[in-house]
Structure 1
């Protein structure tokens, strides 16, 4: 037993010794092989410092791809590559000492689109391509003289023997042949594009610089035909082609193998689809199909490019990219197809240039933060300032560092702060900035209604934040073997600091997927703290349009707008008297402006008033007598009809209903009249009527001004004046000319942003909306119903804005308990809102307790 055990031990020892010796020999052989290979490559292409500095490196494992931008030769087969039949094929060695530019783009167009689509391409994304852009069309498009004049300012190639017929198989192959014969040794990559595609030049350059152009590549959105075309394209079940619309990209090695056989490919076509035939020709002579993202690129780059994402085709047809552009698929795409209306090429270009500006502003903020941080370590005089023209520091330009005295000149004064929730430290209670809570809506302490719907600007801000956060989280997802998907915002907080920017605290629900090693998929929640700093204030000095001083200008207006004010009325004699005085004063102001001033009033319109009166016969006689007196005051001469401010009375014998009253008043008007619905409780001025005329556009826009509503005066510290004694409260006995000087502040009243009863629109637009719901009786709801009808049944733009000269005078309001529940709740809510400001009500309660 002992001898057998010793033999076994010796055998095991000899086995491990032999294994170690074999590993050492193998390692030595590989080391010598790699050293000789490295020497051969170094002798082939000496690198330069300039080419290395211009290379773009994002991840360590992308260094191997820098060769395409650093080397001035075409490489041969590299030993040790393991490629399947579907992998890119290494090209044979071709000695070439000429440096190659990155990209040549050939845009196929037609003579009918040269002045529209082609010109738009040249003026938008054509300027962003890191290389050369040339347009190709049929050789018979222009005469020789026209051809020369056009080519002077536009890179146009007229292909001989080619027309503009569709499908453009011949144009496509002849374009590839032209690229090969004239530019085949000058560029790394060649792109075939249509004139209805948008290409993001900077993104395309970033994409191509991560791929080795020494190999044979055929890049685009891989397709196999739609359901209609399947079976007619003569493709095997495992064959594909690159769709022509979003663009096709070939490495120079692929072009070298395909372009010389363009004529033969034209003779051997099996379908009418140009992109299918190009793909068939590439497969035949370059032995490669259109690359699938998950097959090839994941072996050679650190990013898993999805071709359908970066070469984006929108199946909406003519409506593609005509709507909202701020979408994930648009921001992720390198090419976008189709853009049928060439005007949208300019729109896309402006959008993407805006994204570039945002990126540059963000880089600027980061630089300012670095300056602010490093200023405490650099041994420089902190009062030094940098002279951009001389390239040196002096004391007469913008300060780089804060000198402690002239902080307004310090470029990092506000934007140079590092991200922090404590950038601003309030010293007083009133300086504290409230946080809004984000849930199903927005809960805010600073608004009249504590719960509001999230508005479009707030939604857009959250969408931008989520998109940017997820891009940061997934920036190295492939290297880490995991990806995180956004699900929803559970809740959050936000605040806006007018000096520094907006702060967000969001609780995000996400899905964590790990696909490397042990595969798991689990839901996760994370708190995200975001700051969106404001960029520095930018001021542009605009020169005056003309140096000529103001002069009297005579304006002849042949067609005047007629504004008809419609007021429902039931009782309230003294209030109506004040309203008529207001109307009289406004009419006289407008009349004087039109006749005594050297300047013609900018709001040329006629004004009339329609009063719809409810009540008993005795009450009506009293109101009619008051109106007749105003008519006499507003008329001139012996004819009471000779006035620009007519007053018409319409009497109803039914129970008061505001909707029915306004419908009756509107029926007295013409379709071309501008209707201004107003209540007897309001005071107004001539400026209000001018804004009504300006902001109401027939067939295009309706105007619903936001009224300033007064609080109950008994809750003021002084019922008639504010703390400075400058503002008089409007009441039935006050002079209207003094009321216009009344200030707008939070102690006096509030903006009734939830009220829609005051509005202006043309009668023709009112009828298109469907009019008032005359079934609604009593107080409220008819205005909200009309506003909804404008939104649902018309294409009018609804314009709202506060008008400081449109004031709702406080009056006691009793809510009828017999009203329907929804109307009663609205009435009680309005009644509560008009009691007083929070501060005055608190003071009143404290005084009562004492």
Structure 2
């Protein structure tokens, strides 16, 4: 990790400079101490001609001798102090070199002596703000940032979403590597304690060595203006004695990277929509499309079995007017004019592609079941938990320049299955030098349409199809109301009967 080694290299340079200055001071002190006394004739007055008594000269010589003795004693004390400081700095330099060359964890802030003053002060201020040592007064329960807990094999998360589970194995490589690094850093702290850790250095045989198998549980949370706080606990087998290690990964201050002006008015967007059948949905799409101030459209008939990837590929290759920004879209998508500007802002040829996360609407017959008629489409475009969800598992909607699409190799048309070609293209960009921007956007909606589960499917495929259908049908609470509809109706009848009985009495 080259970035983490820079502070260490800076400290080593300062250490070497300090050693050099100390050696110069030692040499200077030695020369002063060893310099022969000056000629008495130049020091004592009167030797040039004026006559004085014997007692006078003895007094002068004694005074001069005392001055030399005091000066020598002072220099000896300074030399002794400089030697001590030189020894301490040599030991610190050796420790830094060993840590740089050894396999231990780098980048771990351990003691104040290991960091330059300004940087160390900032890091400790971040720790104080992150409630590591003391709590902070919060205005309400909504201001609290919850932790996520983890063991060596699982992560327990509070914010699940629809594609995450309350218990998740850290199968993602970045998440797994992060937790492994933190556990290793904590073990390094335990097995190589400082004096402030409260362990006696003179009894090394009594010190217990901990390994990854002794890790019991951990907590972590990330606050965007402070950093990530980790709390880890270790224990020997069948022991009630736990070692608690607190680690913190602080964020640095904001730094200006660039400030540019982006003009979007002249950027043409070629919206490509593959379609087979779905005339009613296409009619709704054109109704929305008219609001986008389009200049022209082209229908490209294809006499072959429908394939979304194949349709998008044909649309991209049909454009013959040079490079252009393309928006791969579906007929079930509703987009706003603001989204088209978002598409322009987050793309750049040979530099950046955009993969927005679409907000997928639930079945309006369930969401608005208490109304006689569902409101018009424009009124359904809201971001609420019972109205829809972020389709974070979909990669079909994307904005990218035609040149980037062709250079990356386009879709893998040999891949079979709906949506699989989207994932393959997305992975190509992730492995390239281009920047991939992935974020939810407010102006992009996936309109609900009924999902059909064919009878030809195997029992396992049919079960998965039904599960997917349920996910797109309604929220957890609305589905629960449907499941317990009979129980709810019985309750309402009982309440109505009790009300009627009380009225008659």
Question: TM-score range, shorter-chain basis?
Answer: 0.5 to 0.7
Counterparts of 1:400-799 in structure 2, within 5 Å, are 413-414=136-137, 436-438=149-151, 440-444=153-157, 446-447=159-160, 448=162, 449-450=164-165, 451=168, 453=170, 456=174, 460=178, 463-464=181-182, 467-468=185-186, 470-471=188-189, 474-475=193-194, 476=199, 478-481=201-204, 482=207, 484-487=209-212, 492=217, 494=219, 506=232, 508=234, 560-587=266-293, 645-669=295-319, 672-716=323-367, 718=369, 734=376, 736=378, 738=379, 742-792=381-431, 794-799=432-437
1:842 to 480, 483, 495: 480
8 Å contact kept, 2:354–2:400: yes
8 Å contact kept, 2:22–2:86: no
**Structure 1 residues 781, 456: CA separation in 2 closer, same or farther (over 3 Å shift)?**
same
8 Å contact kept, 1:705–1:803: yes
Structure 1 unpaired stretches of 5+: 1-120, 135-171, 187-210, 220-248, 251-296, 298-302, 316-326, 335-347, 370-411, 416-423, 511-521, 546-554, 588-643, 722-727
Instruction: State the 1:367 CA deviation.
Output: 11
8 Å contact kept, 1:674–1:761: yes
Match of 1:649, SS state, is coil
Give the TM-score, by structure 2 length. Answer: 0.63
Match of 1:798, SS state, is strand
8 Å contact kept, 1:672–1:762: yes
- Distance in structure 2 (CA, Å) of the matches to 1:179 and 1:789: 61
**Structure 1 residues 494, 306: CA separation in 2 closer, same or farther (over 3 Å shift)?**
closer
Q: Aligned pairs, how many?
A: 409
- Distance in structure 2 (CA, Å) of the matches to 1:830 and 1:771: 28
8 Å contact kept, 1:501–1:531: no
Report the more deviating stretch, 352-361 or 762-771: 352-361
- Distance in structure 1 (CA, Å) of the matches to 2:444 and 2:301: 27
8 Å contact kept, 2:272–2:326: yes
Match of 1:214, SS state, is helix
8 Å contact kept, 1:780–1:827: no
Counterparts of 1:146-157 in structure 2, within 5 Å, are none
Equivalent position of 1:594 in the other structure: none
Query: Which structure has the higher relative contact order (CA within 8 Å, separation 6+)?
Result: 2
- Distance in structure 1 (CA, Å) of the matches to 2:133 and 2:234: 30
Structure 2 unpaired stretches of 5+: 1-5, 33-79, 491-505
Report the structure, 1 or 2, having the larger helix content. Answer: 2
- Distance in structure 2 (CA, Å) of the matches to 1:803 and 1:477: 57
- Distance in structure 2 (CA, Å) of the matches to 1:786 and 1:526: 52
8 Å contact kept, 1:568–1:661: yes
Match of 1:803, SS state, is strand
8 Å contact kept, 2:357–2:440: yes
Counterparts of 1:247-258 in structure 2, within 5 Å, are none
8 Å contact kept, 2:147–2:220: yes
Cα deviation code 1:300-323 (max 9, x no counterpart): xxx99656424x3599xxxxxxxx
Cα deviation code 1:683-718 (max 9, x no counterpart): 001111111111112222221100101112233364
Report the structure, 1 or 2, having the larger strand content. Answer: 1
Instruction: State the 1:586 CA deviation.
Output: 1.8
**Structure 1 residues 359, 464: CA separation in 2 closer, same or farther (over 3 Å shift)?**
farther
Instruction: State the 1:735 CA deviation.
Output: 5.9
Instruction: State the 1:755 CA deviation.
Output: 0.9
**Structure 1 residues 479, 746: CA separation in 2 closer, same or farther (over 3 Å shift)?**
farther
Cα deviation code 1:493-516 (max 9, x no counterpart): 647598x99887756477xxxxxx
**Structure 1 residues 791, 364: CA separation in 2 closer, same or farther (over 3 Å shift)?**
closer
Please, what is the CA RMSD of the aligned residues? 5.4
Instruction: State the 1:720 CA deviation.
Output: 5.5
8 Å contact kept, 2:230–2:248: no
Equivalent position of 1:59 in the other structure: none
Instruction: State the 1:362 CA deviation.
Output: 4.0
- Distance in structure 1 (CA, Å) of the matches to 2:85 and 2:218: 52
Q: Is 1:803 the counterpart of 2:454 in the alignment?
A: no
Q: Is 1:358 the counterpart of 2:123 in the alignment?
A: yes
**Structure 1 residues 672, 486: CA separation in 2 closer, same or farther (over 3 Å shift)?**
farther
